[in-house]
Structure 1
């Protein structure tokens, strides 16, 4: 009688209490590697650092500008008084130092600072959304590898089982217990099983490639993941968290606030501006030899815009439309967040129900196969009946593996929907990237570069990462 593989061995790589293999890679380690290595995430961090610079640019509206102009040259002059002429060879030299301090800019500086700060917060929330997307993609890639490996093992085992079944059928054919048709049916099933195994192996390699792209490393011997934790307790809580805490919603809210600040900034162009201008300069030999002129002045300049050809009013109307658009997009983001939370919650519930039903199906199919095999031995069942039951058991096992994968994926999708697919919530062994570190470093910087910018420039020029660009490292 053909020996079947027990349910505990053949099916669940998901959730099985197996001893981890040597150098096995846990899901947490894979997520930490993706957090460090994923190029999409690293590029988004650089984009946020670029947005940070909008704040010191806005703050520059409070600060003075200092210019120094200088000139030097040669001049040949001829002057005539009555009949007397005089030639002079002059070496002209001059410099002028000017300091301009804005006193009032129509409240544009305040509005620009507020807009820049809201833009930074929007970018940081967008970075969190990207982090969640990357971590979710890494978790899905990890689970896909486990699922593909399980399917490969199941299809490989199925080939071995069917090959033994074929040998047994050929032996029975030789003694006249079955017909040539039974042998052909067994041979056909073996050929189909081999094709399924080859397809499963190809799918495994494709998923390993996806894993490498997302995580940034070749997958090792993946371990069975722990149950997804920190999930919301109800659908209502999921929706509430999603519409208030989802990074996409938070980012859009800050974007809308920045658009309102933009209205104030444009409106300020219609108001007067006042500057304090101080200058000091000297000239040598501008008109005659051995002469010099020294000039110093302090002037308050006021500018009152009267009419700018309608351009400012047009931009003001444009900004109001954009602010209204941004507020509408906040509602759109909330609807999308709610949809994602509901879908993830229902997918998780459906996957858990499927696991329960499919587990019962696998157990029943396994018992049925043993019964059909015994009945076939006494002639009450045909070889085709046995083959059909083996195929049904294989299909149930593969469906169960996929349902378990879907359950994990839905759990992580739910975490992402409510804003909990983060390094801190997942407890990953990696130091969290702090976007405020760069923001605070450059916010009040009056001049010069920074190590962050130099590292980004070096990476752009040579492709070499010195470490400052990422700013995170694996935990000990």
Structure 2
């Protein structure tokens, strides 16, 4: 039986080696593939570009609107048996511009810029969520593969014990109770093995959803623990000053404040200038000269059915809400940092305890098997010792998995689980360059001219 135990342990070791072999798919490779593939990240990137266009739309509020028009009319009439007709063709240019709107446009531009900045931070926040989900899926596959191998070994052990019990019964050294107990444990072990296979299939499907490809041989080793500060206070300080969710909340406050200013500006006057210049050509090709006009107007709202007041109240409420949301984000980040830090400490303790339990469990199992062979222990004692050893080994697998996930969770809660911080070999998704491009408000005019 000792030989069977050693063979089983060796088989599990070889299985674990094949999972993390020399050509293993590392966490870095999985994160890189997911970063380039993730639809959620691509969507956030496009949303940030779309948000940047609000800056151009806002800046258009006080820039001129220039248009050209060409038209022609044909008139005819019949009177007293006489037919007359005429053609008039016109061409002209128009110019309209708001030169003052009580600083409403300036507030709208500031709100749009803050919104574009918030959208950029949303990319980073989505990036962190995606990468953390990838790590969780990665470790689920790896731990489930280890559990499948472990539970397969468990089934093999119970099969050996059942055969041993039958052999002992045949020679008169055992009982039918031993056989029944071994059969029951084998059935239970087989059910647990099949459940672990189902969990593995689900985790592999989740991995493929994030990474865009099925998992290969996985290797959980990494060097990202170097990014973690030496103290909880250091982790909290980094999170409070650099987490994208907090920066996003601050940008949202700026946008809401600017929105409130824009709403209040609606009570003030608006000054506009307009002009037109054009010419007409009659049906006889006679040029009728060039004409033009220039206008200036100032409008002051007096009553708008309550719309202006409602807009101001709504904007003020949105500003208060943005500040409350920022407080909530701040508290959530602090909670996440503390939870992740505690998770690492807890996982370390669990690994130490599980490692000791596995070592002791193997000694107990070997000793119980020897005692059973000598007649001082029963088959049930052996089965119970195997169950305790299996539980300890499962605890060790789960603790090691939790340690990796807690490490990356801490990086995420600190705002450092990004492609740049991890040094992933990817082109970082950002809308900053696009934001700078849309600030060129005359690009549209040049495009038309070209």
Residue in structure 2 matched with residue 183 of structure 1 by the alignment: 179
Task: Show the 5 A alignment for 1:128-167.
Answer: 128-167=124-163
Would the aligned equivalents of 1:23 and 1:220 in 2 still touch at CA under 8 Å? no
Give the structure-1-normalised TM-score.
0.86
Would the aligned equivalents of 1:90 and 1:289 in 2 still touch at CA under 8 Å? no
Cα distance between partner residues in 2 of 1:274 and 1:59: 16
Q: Is the helix fraction higher in 1 or 2?
A: 2
3-state secondary structure, aligned to 1:4: helix
3-state secondary structure, aligned to 2:336: helix
Task: Show the 5 A alignment for 1:287-302.
Answer: 292-302=288-298
Task: Show the 5 A alignment for 1:68-79.
Answer: 68-76=68-76
Cα distance between partner residues in 1 of 2:402 and 2:120: 30
Task: Show the 5 A alignment for 1:246-285.
Answer: 246-285=243-282
Q: CA deviation at 1:375?
A: 0.9
3-state secondary structure, aligned to 2:377: coil
Residue in structure 2 matched with residue 122 of structure 1 by the alignment: 118
Q: CA deviation at 1:278?
A: 2.5
Residue in structure 2 matched with residue 430 of structure 1 by the alignment: 426
Would the aligned equivalents of 1:235 and 1:345 in 2 still touch at CA under 8 Å? yes
Residue in structure 2 matched with residue 206 of structure 1 by the alignment: 202
Q: What do residues 146-182 of structure 1 show as CA deviations (whole Å, max 9, x unaligned)?
A: 0000001101111122222222222222211111211
Gaps of 5+ in 1: 450-476
Cα distance between partner residues in 2 of 1:369 and 1:79: 120
Would the aligned equivalents of 2:272 and 2:298 in 1 still touch at CA under 8 Å? yes
Q: Which moved more, 1:150-159 or 1:97-106?
A: 97-106
Residue in structure 2 matched with residue 472 of structure 1 by the alignment: none
1:412 aligns with 2:408: yes
Residue in structure 2 matched with residue 353 of structure 1 by the alignment: 349
Would the aligned equivalents of 1:13 and 1:150 in 2 still touch at CA under 8 Å? no
Residue in structure 1 matched with residue 40 of structure 2 by the alignment: 40
Aligned in 2, Cα 1:138/1:291: closer, same or farther, shift over 3 Å? Answer: closer
Would the aligned equivalents of 2:18 and 2:217 in 1 still touch at CA under 8 Å? no
Output the aligned Cα RMSD.
Answer: 2.7
3-state secondary structure, aligned to 2:266: helix
Q: Which moved more, 1:217-226 or 1:113-122?
A: 217-226
Aligned in 2, Cα 1:439/1:179: closer, same or farther, shift over 3 Å? Answer: same
Residue in structure 1 matched with residue 5 of structure 2 by the alignment: 4
Q: What do residues 226-249 of structure 1 show as CA deviations (whole Å, max 9, x unaligned)?
A: 254111322222223223322211
Cα distance between partner residues in 1 of 2:172 and 2:270: 107
Aligned in 2, Cα 1:110/1:12: closer, same or farther, shift over 3 Å? Answer: farther
Task: Show the 5 A alignment for 1:358-373.
Answer: 358-373=354-369
3-state secondary structure, aligned to 2:273: strand
Cα distance between partner residues in 1 of 2:285 and 2:374: 130
1:388 aligns with 2:357: no
1:233 aligns with 2:230: yes
Would the aligned equivalents of 1:100 and 1:276 in 2 still touch at CA under 8 Å? yes
Residue in structure 2 matched with residue 192 of structure 1 by the alignment: 188
Q: CA deviation at 1:11?
A: 7.2
Residue in structure 1 matched with residue 448 of structure 2 by the alignment: none
Cα distance between partner residues in 2 of 1:339 and 1:200: 32
Cα distance between partner residues in 2 of 1:19 and 1:89: 91
Cα distance between partner residues in 2 of 1:308 and 1:12: 78
Cα distance between partner residues in 1 of 2:252 and 2:358: 52
